[in-house]
Amino acid sequence: MSENIQVGSVLTGKVTGIQPYGAFVALDENTQGLVHISEITHGYVKDVNEHLTVGDEVKVKVLSIDEAAGKIGLSIRATEEAPEQPQRAKKPRGAKRPAAVVQHQDDSAQGFNTLKDKLQEWINQSDMAKK
């Protein structure tokens, strides 16, 4: 690995290969790194070929260096300014939407009874079971 390549440095390289998972970029004659598909640009990238072609000169930032494996992680996205996100209207804190109130004419017909109504029934059932 080249001594002048350090994590955080921004370099210019040339795209040497494209795979479904990213693009290989040559940083010098002896050193090449990988720009993962998630680091190509801000937003979703479905196909690397829509953004890069072999031979493109790109500005990359070094994200990681694994000396043992001989791998360098690069990012094109980190060299670009993030696009502004559209501002959403925010609700004031504590503001809640009123709950929908659904009233049925005859809840018992639909199988719903309040605990108060059922309590006496359960007491009577318990008393009958004891006898």
Number of structural domains in the chain: 1
Render pLDDT for 25-52 as a digit per residue (tens, 0 to 9). Answer: 999 888 899 999 999 998 899 999 999 9
Q: What's the pTM value of the predicted model, to 2 decimals?
A: 0.61
Render pLDDT for 91-105 as a digit per residue (tens, 0 to 9). Answer: 667 666 666 666 655
Q: Which domain holds residue 52?
A: 10-79
Length of the chain: 131
Q: Is residue 32 part of a domain?
A: yes
Q: Is the dihedral of CA 11, 12, 18, 22 positive or negative?
A: positive
B/e letters for 42-58, b = 16+ CB within 10 Å, e = fewer, are eeebeebeebbeeeeeb
Q: What is the mean pLDDT of residues 115-129?
A: 84
Q: What is the CATH number of the domain that holds 40?
A: 2.40.50.140
Q: Is residue 38 part of a domain?
A: yes
Q: What is the CA radius of gyration of the chain?
A: 32
Q: Is residue 5 part of a domain?
A: no
